[in-house]
Amino acid sequence: MKYPTIDGVNSANKIQLAEWVRFLPSPGSSAIGNKNFEEIMDKEVVVLNLIIKQFNEKGGMTPAISKAIGLNKR
């Protein structure tokens, strides 16, 4: 799963945020071995922190949301 843009995060609904919280790989995972690893990881950390902040502000994970998004990537 590819990291969204900041604009994408800002326009996401709670379900989309929940999917990203559950399924996005750790920041930098896609750049392991890449000469720009640290730069990519730093950018993805910013995005992930924004996702988590907004998701928590919207009430965070509930049993209903967890069930709706499932345990495996679609």
Predicted confidence at residue 74, as pLDDT, reads 67
pLDDT for res 39: 97
- Cα–Cα distance list, 47 to 22, 63, 64, 70 (Å): 14, 25, 25, 22
Which of 40, 41, 46 minimizes the C-alpha distance to 8? Answer: 46
Q: What is the pLDDT of residue 1?
A: 84
Domain boundaries along the sequence of the chain: 6-69
74 residues of the chain, pLDDT tens digit each: 899 999 999 999 999 999 999 999 999 999 999 999 999 999 999 999 999 999 999 999 999 999 999 998 76
